[in-house]
Amino acid sequence: MALLHELWEEGDEGYTFCLAGPHGDDARRRLSPDARLIWTVEAGSHFEAMTSYYEYMDWGPYRSDQPWDRTPYPEAWTGPGVEK
């Protein structure tokens, strides 16, 4: 299962990278009024999402030694923004 992620640019405030759909509602509520969606990516795990995000931002490789980071997203996460 792949989940859709969104990258929002907030000018001087920086960036917010979050899940699309209801799983990202809390993050999007904190966005500044002038925030704009600049990129989306589908990923099957947090590690996959962050790897793509780091590549997009040209920050070099994403590294994590957290075991949960590579765990595939659970099938229970369904709804808008979720691609099967």
Query: Is pLDDT above 60 for 22?
Result: yes
Phi and psi torsions of 39, nearest 5°: -165, 145
Output the pTM of the full model. 0.84
Q: Average pLDDT for residues 2-15, to the nearest whole number?
A: 94
pLDDT digits (tens, 9 = 90+) for 24-74: 999 999 999 999 999 999 999 999 999 999 999 999 999 999 888 888 887
Task: Say whether pLDDT at 84 is over 80.
Answer: no
Which pLDDT score, from 0 to 100, does residue 74 have? 78
Give which of 56, 13, 58 is closest to 38, Cα–Cα.
Answer: 56
pLDDT greater than 60 at residue 81 = no
